[in-house]
Homo-oligomer: A and B are copies of this chain.
Amino acid sequence: MVNNFTVDEQALSQRLMNYRREFHRYPESAWCEFFTTSRIAGHLQLLGYELCFSDAIIARDTIMGRDDANIVKAQERAITWGAQLEFLAQMDGVTGVGAILDTGRPGPVMAIRFDIDAVDVMESQDDSHRPRFLGFASLAPGVAHACGHDAHAAIGLGIAEVLAENKDTLCGKIKLLFQPAEEGCRAGKAIAESGWLDDVDYFFAAHIGMNVPSGTLVCDPQHFLCSSKFDLHFSGKPAHAGIEPNAGRNALAAACTAVSQMLAIPRHRDGMTRVNVGQLHAGDGRNVIPANAVLMGETRGENRELNNYMYQQVEQIAQASAMMHGVQVDIKAQGEAIGLQNDTELVELIAKVGPQSGFTEIIQAKDFGASEDAGYLVDRVQSRGGKAIYCLVGSDLTAGHHNGDFDIDESRMLPAVKLFINAIRQVQTTVDPDDIA
């Protein structure tokens, strides 16, 4: 039961599933969520929310990892899928939507964030894969909701419904942020810098799954990794590989050298570090010395110093690999995640409302072991005097995140909705309005 709220839980649960399956069917990569944003905006508009798009929620000049070439195609596809032109116009090329429910009564400003982008992963074609045999598998080859953001978006709409229905019993202002481009940590900084969250007193976010089983709530995940996302562009000189191999400057050879060496950056005394090259594309013709190569990589570290150590090594290796093969290299930042530290007050609050929201096990700390774009949002809110929390909503998974066989336990969306609703109610009933900054 959701505390003091009017909710038909069974119907809500069904709608959450419908929402999630639709998003799953139409997955869109980071910065390409035109259809997804449009659908979300449509629902929110009907529910009476004030909508914020584009520059209102995102500082364009700090956007990372957005490739103009993909945007046009993504918009065209979104239109094909049924995106509303009105919303596309308001987005003005930048996805995501912020929604505001202003109760008109004094009270805290509370925000909840839901990330909505899919991953560039080929979804399983296996008949035993549930989205496939139930008919809601990805319609975009090579893109899939293999991280659970489809569920996040659905949970966001579910919360939006409950809040709208119960607006009269609420006070203060509630902001729902449907964030684009979480994958690759590409949007967090730009959203933070837009200032849209600057008046927020309480900020909430969550992730489903993350190796936490169904029924369990992790209140205070630890060790969020700092991360830098980057592209390396190598450019050399083509030559006929048979006639004059010496005349070429081999960009692919440089890239391969860089990959091998980056994977061998020494481990660090002070803790966990990571490096990955997730993609490499190089060359034009089989018999031409490849004159260009692009690789997409990332570093991580348990803290900023460790991530900086890794990234500096990447820069050194990139330069040396280019020098080795007589080619040029260009290093382009594509995303960045900083750490994330929850506020104790909210950790306790979430732990308190967990059991009444349908969680059977409440865990305090657990290693997160990955990076989260929410770090920038949490940092922004906290730096302005607000409190923030990012927690984990357990869900049994069919495969690890970013794996083509990934699927969630859909029954875990309702507890997530209830968790945030109860948290909001809890804040509104216990917080002394005078405490609000």
Contact = CB atoms under 8 A, between A and B. Distances in A.
User: Most chain-B Cβ atoms within 10 A of its Cβ — which of A257, A289, A326?
Assistant: A257
Contacts of A317: 324
B225 A402 contact: no
Contact of A402 (B240, B320, B371): B240
Contacts of A280: 252, 255-256, 280-283, 290, 293
Contact of A401 (B142, B243, B246): B243
- Copy number of this protein in the oligomer? 4
A122 B283 CA distance: 11
A271 to B, nearest CB: 9
Contacts of A371: 242, 287
Contacts of A276: 241-242, 245, 286-289
A272 to B, nearest CB: 7
Given A245-B269, A278-B283, 7 more contacts: A242-B370, A245-B266, A247-B400, A276-B286, A278-B290, A280-B283, A286-B296
A250 interface: yes
A239 interface: yes
Given A320-B324, A323-B316, A241 B288 contact: no
B268 A260 contact: no
Contact of A266 (B248, B260, B316, B319): B248
Contact of A285 (B183, B263, B284, B323): B183
A285 B279 contact: yes
A427 interface: no
How many chain A residues sit at the interface, stated as a range, is 35 or more
B278 A402 contact: no
B287 A269 contact: no
Interface in A277-318: 277-290, 293, 296-298, 300, 309, 316-317
A247 B273 contact: no
A267 interface: yes
A233 to B, nearest CB: 15
Contact of A281 (B142, B281, B289): B281
A245 B273 CA distance: 11
Contact of A121 (B211, B288, B296): B288
Contacts of A142: 284
A280 B327 CA distance: 17
A274 interface: yes
A112 interface: no
B320 A287 contact: no
Contact of A229 (B253, B279, B286, B316): B286
A250 B279 CA distance: 11
Contacts of A248: 266
A261 B264 CA distance: 8
